[in-house]
Amino acid sequence: MAKLLRPFINGRHLPAAPSPSPSTSAASSNIFTLINPTNAIPYKYYHPTSSDSLQHALLAAKESQKEWGITAPSHRAGILRRAADIMSKNIPLLTELETLDTGRPIRETEYDIVEGVECLRYYSGLVSATSSGGSYQFGGGSWGYTLREPLGVTLGIGAWNYPIQSALWKSSPALAFGNSMIFKPSEFTPSTALWLAQCYHEAGVPAGVFQVVLGGKEIGQELVESPVVSKVSFTGSLSSGQKVYETASRDMKKVTMELGGKSPMIIFDDANVDNAVSGAMMANWYSSGQVCSNATRVFVHESVMDEFVEKLVERTQKLRIDDPLKESTDVGPMAHKEQMDKVLKYIDIGMKEGATLLYGGKRVTDLPDDLKNGYFLEPAIFTNCNDDMTIVKDEIFGMVMSVLSFSSEEDVLQRANNSELGLAAGVFTKDVQRAHRIIQKLEAGSTWINNYNLVPMQLPWGGYKKSSIGRENGIACMESWTQWKSVYVEMGDVDCPYPK
């Protein structure tokens, strides 16, 4: 029996509405069904949040923020710490919820939940230490001061590949700095965001300060258009982000956006090849390749190309593709059928355009009966690629690695930067001077030297070019969730040149 999910608005889950039973179709005009990617069986469903309920949420967010915004930062920090404690006691439950929605192996989702706890604790500490402004002395005893104030009602729109991370990266700083937030998770993966709303409520977040609404793009569109919303934080595709940005700009709303990438990894001739292979696998196979920062363009120096490819194929062949709820599983299914079909289409395009499919690229069917209908794919390794191929240029969002050869530093830099996206990049070399020189010349916002896809909370997250607007995480994110007020205090008479 499929479970009904309900929006969390103004401190409670909305009452269930009568509806027909869900079917195997993903969506209709009045119902959306979640399909378990492991077996293609419907297991949850919901009604998109009605326009009346959205207006109720907006009103609740506006009214509750007035008090929340003037609550002492130390008190808000304490509530976030309590939320972190609640979350830390529910790691097994959240891990399973996240895995069932996304298909990601339970080892991966457990890591996300643990990091989510740290996210809450990080922002509880950050707001306690940085919420105040400064004071300044001027002539004649007059002085001034600055206030860091919240923006008001904010909107978070999350991605389907990392649901709980997306919800926490947006809501933790938003709430810490006194904003309220309406969060719309991806229509495919809403479960952990709904749990988070209940967690915040239990921790002491007032009703209306954090709410979760359900539905697709039309729900997000209505909220972005609302004059009540002062800031939008969006994670998703470039095309969707551009539409959201255009709508938000009409009212001059503040925005932060993370819109994906087609990131390069450069492996030089002096690199530790075993580490480079590990990095390339983490940058392509993790989360079934459904990671915005993945380095799917792997540039390998011609002198180590054969060794790199041999070791890459050997280790990729050992990956255990299985039920993501098993601790031993390395690769789970794609998150939904549409994404699996998209990846298979790109693999076919790659072969037709002349790239060599060296390994994988097929749907996995050699599985137990209860998994045979799941959306499982083999990782695909392409060699003999060139920079003009579709698989090298487009963000595919799946396990499709393009291995490209290079001979000189100047050549590979030009090719690595030849993209309209610039989210991330990585360099593998033992030459420290070259590593820093290359990193400084790469047109990307989140970069690694001799590793890949590690994202500590202290470092700002975001990209260059069309990949991002603004930053999430780190101290830099404060500017995305607050605004400055300057106050001048006159201690004498007004010096006025006009006649009395």
Identify whether the C-beta of residue 425 lies closer than 8 Å to the C-beta of residue 295: yes
Q: Using one digit for the tens of pLDDT, what is the confidence trace for 2-40?
A: 899 999 999 999 987 655 455 444 444 589 999 999 999
Q: Which of 260, 255, 250 is nearest to 289 (CA)?
A: 260
Q: What Å distances lie between residue 453 and 40, 119, 447, CA to CA?
A: 29, 17, 8
What distance in Å separates the CA atoms of residue 198 and residue 167, rounded to the nearest whole number?
A: 13
pLDDT in the model for residue 25 = 44
pLDDT in the model for residue 181 = 98
Percent of the chain's residues with pLDDT above 90: 94
Cα–Cα–Cα angle for 288, 371, 340, rounded to 5 degrees: 35
Strands (E), 407-455: 421-422, 424-428, 446-449
What distance in Å separates the CA atoms of residue 427 and residue 44, rounded to the nearest whole number?
A: 42
User: For residue 365, what are its two tokens?
Assistant: 């069917």
Q: Which residues are catalytic?
A: 170, 258, 292, 472
- pTM of structure: 0.94
> Going by C-beta distance under 8 Å and a sequence separation of 6 or more, which residues neighbour residue 237?
259, 260
Amino acid at 464: Y
Amino acid at 164: I
Which residue, chain included where needed, has tokens 């990956």? 319
Q: Which of 177, 173, 198 is nearest to 133 (CA)?
A: 177
Q: Is 2 exposed, middle or buried (0-12, 13-18, 19+ CB in 10 A)?
A: middle
45 three-class SS: strand
Q: Using one digit for the tens of pLDDT, what is the confidence trace for 261-309?
A: 999 999 999 999 999 999 999 999 999 999 999 999 999 999 999 999 9
Q: What Å distances lie between residue 278 and 303, 416, 473, CA to CA?
A: 19, 20, 26
